[in-house]
Amino acid sequence: MIVVLSKRLGPRDKERICAFLEERGFSPREQTLGDDDIISTAGKGAADIQELSLLPGVERVAATSKPYELASRETKNDDTIISVGPVKIGGSRISIIAGPCAVESREQIQETAARVRESGAVILRGGAFKPRTSPYAFQGLGMKGLELLKEAGEAQGMPIVTEVVSQERALEMRDLTDMFQIGARNMQNFELLKRVGAIGKPVLLKRGPSATIEEWLLSAEYLLAAGARDVALCERGIRTFETYTRNTLDVSAIPVVKRLSHLPVIVDPSHAVGIRAMVSSAGLAAIAAGADGLTVEVHPHPDKAQSDGPQSLYPSQFERLMRDIEALAPVVGKELLRTPRGLPLEFPRPEAVPESPPGGSPVAYAGENGAYAEQALIRAFGEEAPRLACPSFAAVFDAVLDGSAAFGVVPVENSLTGSLHENYDLFLRYPDIAMVGELKLRILHCLIADEAASLETITLVRSHPQGFAQCKEFLDRYPWKLEPCYNTAAAVSSLRREKGENRLKVAAIAGEAAAQGLQILRTGIETNPLNYTRFVIISRKNAGDKAPVPPSLGSERPNKASLIFSAPDTPGALYGCLRIMAERGVNLSKLESRPILGQPWQYLFYLDVGLPETDTGFETLLEELKTRTGEFRFLGAYRGAL
């Protein structure tokens, strides 16, 4: 039973409440739970809850059905947000803890701290005392290791968390660590839990390898009952009959615990799977399941790590994981703690994509091997689709028009930098080309250079102008000269043609797929991780003004259309056109004006519209629009990407 005290507590109210409880066989204990002052009860007493709730100074009485009263959501319905130094864990935040399994040297922990902080981790982890299965394995550097961890954390402005393994060490470590970690082996070391809880520092409580959820929450209860205010639960995998991974990540435990308890939940994907290649996937799954953060093992040289090297991420892998988390966060209604800017609430979902083109005909795209357009082509038509690389966007239209390619894939809009007007204008020049499909591709920019190059040797960066615009925040940090290229993949190809010392001075911004044989210096350098480019699939119109569509889209009803028109220079002309669409239930999703070449101060309107699921006479609508407009061009109806 928990007695929550009123904020207007009188000077003697608390004494009366405690006396009431003692008279009825309870041992009362004053504590703080979140923002509330409470009195928890122990013992086998009996009391009338209604009578107790009427005492002066009592706000409410929580009689829970769970044995873990302080940790139960029945006691505290709102999520608890704990504080570790300046860092908050819980609520709408996703907080990432990162660092090596163990502190091995000053150089190792300083380098790791700098790298994980740069990528966005907010708490530094590292073991000073390492309980190991074998007595001959590396056991950590002890207090010296903790001092090095504290030094690295202070250098990067990060609080630290480290494992405590004994009651005696807890007092020694108290002034050096910002958060205690109770390891899986010690989850039910109840004397240690009581000692650590009494110290009052934040605690990260790992689930034991064979512990039930209730046993895990009862261990948290020990900490809270002893006086701890800031406790986070850590799921790190449980022991099952499966042997392909180190443990089995109990993803289902995350929503279960979030329902049962108000405490934040952190997930340790490193120990859960024990295999480097699987850590990021497991971590993203945990975030999707509702975890409040991750604790991830990162080492600058995992192959040389003295413990847990096979499950430790390289810093570059951790950086990519952070970018993926930042993109995923809005989906689960959360925000990555390091992110200073607001993020859109929507996150594009994977769309249905077409099959390979018929008859083995190639699909055209602008650029070279590894271009984003080629990646979009692969997404749309599959890895085995024959491809035709073209030197320009106009060349893609030409290839489709003359039959060299059955389809083409061209970008028309970016979520950060807006429309690619060059390609919209091409639809005016090629009236026999139609839009027949659409997909959205996430753009993950990399800084690519020669294997011997570094950030210090670079003086010149090449990319498409849109690449520069999308990576402005990163580029502003360096005094590099920017040289535009017609395509990001072409910028990378130019690096391979450089000779001598020039190869060390030039870098390119492009996708990872374009970097074959070269070094990726930085991954995910775009300013906003929600960076998507919308590509359209084009084909040539046949007899009857119809264009063939990719096979898997042919049987699906179009739900989107694009068109271009000009409106007379009269009051309400544009309004009249839009009213026609509104009256027929056609939703306008994009409206943009463009100057008409050779006709100063006259404009064309580019529109994307959503089509209703039922036939409402769209063909009739188009005919009526033609009577209200000047130039009119229907670009195509297609199945839009989700």
Tokens of 266: 């952190």
DSSP code string of 109-160: HHHHHHHHHHHT--EEE-BSS---SSTTS----THHHHHHHHHHHHHHT--E
Burial of 486 (0-12, 13-18, 19+ CB in 10 A): middle
Cβ–Cβ < 8 Å for 138, 309:
no
- Measured between alpha carbons, how far is 510 from 490 in angstroms, rounded to an integer? 9
Identify residue 418 by its one-letter amino acid code. Answer: G
Burial of 221 (0-12, 13-18, 19+ CB in 10 A): buried
Tokens of 535: 């590509």
- Measured between alpha carbons, how far is 502 from 431 in angstroms, rounded to an integer? 45
Count of the separate structural domains present in the chain: 4
- Measured between alpha carbons, how far is 434 from 422 in angstroms, rounded to an integer? 16
Can you give the pLDDT at residue 369? 86
Output the domain CATH number for residue 456.
Answer: 3.40.190.10
Output the domain CATH number for residue 38.
Answer: 3.30.70
* 3-state SS, residue 550: coil
Can you give the pLDDT at residue 495? 92
Whether 10 and 117 share a structural domain:
no
Whether 500 and 584 share a structural domain:
no
Phi (first) and psi of residue 120, to 5 degrees: 125, 0
Identify residue 323 by its one-letter amino acid code. Answer: R
Partnered with residue 38 across adjacent β-strands are: 4, 31
DSSP code string of 458-519: --EEEE-HHHHHHTHHHHTTS--EEEE-S-HHHHHHHHHT--TTHHHHEEEEE-GGG-TTSE
Calculate ∠ Cα 385-389-394, nearest 5°.
120
**DSSP state at residue 209:** T
Identify residue 107 by its one-letter amino acid code. Answer: E
Cβ–Cβ < 8 Å for 385, 405:
no
- Measured between alpha carbons, how far is 412 from 534 in angstroms, rounded to an integer? 6
Phi (first) and psi of residue 507, to 5 degrees: -135, 170
Residue where a domain stops, chosen among 495, 530, 565 = 530
Q: Which of 129, 393, 535, 565 is catalytic?
A: 535
Per residue, what are the HEC states of 376-412?
Answer: HHHHHHCCCCCEEEECCHHHHHHHHHCCCCCEEEEEE
Partnered with residue 609 across adjacent β-strands are: 561, 588
Output the domain CATH number for residue 87.
Answer: 3.20.20.70
In-domain check, residue 6: yes
Whether 194 and 266 share a structural domain:
yes
Burial of 68 (0-12, 13-18, 19+ CB in 10 A): buried
- The string over 488-523, giving b where at least 16 C-beta atoms fall within 10 Å of a residue's C-beta and e elsewhere, is bbbbbbebeeeeeeebbbbbbbbbbbbbeebeebbb
Whether 109 and 256 share a structural domain:
yes
Whether 175 and 262 share a structural domain:
yes
Can you give the pLDDT at residue 189? 95
Whether 235 and 158 share a structural domain:
yes
Phi (first) and psi of residue 474, to 5 degrees: -70, -45
Is residue 535 annotated as part of the catalytic site, yes or no? Answer: yes
CA proximity to 536, closest of 347, 351, 346? 351
Hunting for tokens 């309400």 — which residue is that?
Answer: 572
Cβ–Cβ < 8 Å for 159, 123:
yes
Identify residue 72 by its one-letter amino acid code. Answer: S
In-domain check, residue 380: no
Whether 176 and 288 share a structural domain:
yes
Residue where a domain stops, chosen among 336, 366, 381 = 336
In-domain check, residue 126: yes
Whether 214 and 268 share a structural domain:
yes
- Return averaged pLDDT per consecutive 10 residues of the chain, 642 residues in all: 83 86 82 76 75 85 79 86 91 91 96 94 94 82 95 95 94 95 95 94 96 96 91 96 94 96 97 96 96 97 93 94 86 66 27 48 90 86 84 94 94 88 89 89 91 94 93 95 91 91 93 90 88 91 58 60 90 91 88 83 88 74 88 86 59
- Measured between alpha carbons, how far is 176 from 180 in angstroms, rounded to an integer? 10
In-domain check, residue 366: no
In-domain check, residue 100: yes
- Measured between alpha carbons, how far is 92 from 329 in angstroms, rounded to an integer? 10
Identify residue 158 by its one-letter amino acid code. Answer: M
Partnered with residue 523 across adjacent β-strands are: 446
Can you give the pLDDT at residue 553? 44
Hunting for tokens 């699939």 — which residue is that?
Answer: 537
Domain that holds residue 22: 2-62
* 3-state SS, residue 327: helix
Whether 122 and 225 share a structural domain:
yes
Q: Which of 393, 533, 618, 629 is catalytic?
A: 533
Residue where a domain stops, chosen among 514, 530, 546 = 530
Q: In Å, how far from its chain's centre is CA 419?
A: 25
Can you give the pLDDT at residue 95? 94
In-domain check, residue 349: no
Whether 17 and 161 share a structural domain:
no
Whether 13 and 121 share a structural domain:
no
User: Which positions ≥6 away from 311 have C-beta within 8 Å?
Assistant: 246, 270, 271, 273, 274, 275, 276, 279, 297
Whether 487 and 569 share a structural domain:
no
Is residue 618 annotated as part of the catalytic site, yes or no? Answer: no
In-domain check, residue 460: yes
In-domain check, residue 545: no
Give Rg (Cα) of the chain: 31
Report the DSSP pairing between strands 519-523 and 446-449. antiparallel
Instruction: Pick left, alpha or beta for residue 627 (phi over 0 → left; psi -120 to 50 → alpha; otherwise beta).
Output: alpha
- Measured between alpha carbons, how far is 250 from 396 in angstroms, rounded to an integer? 49
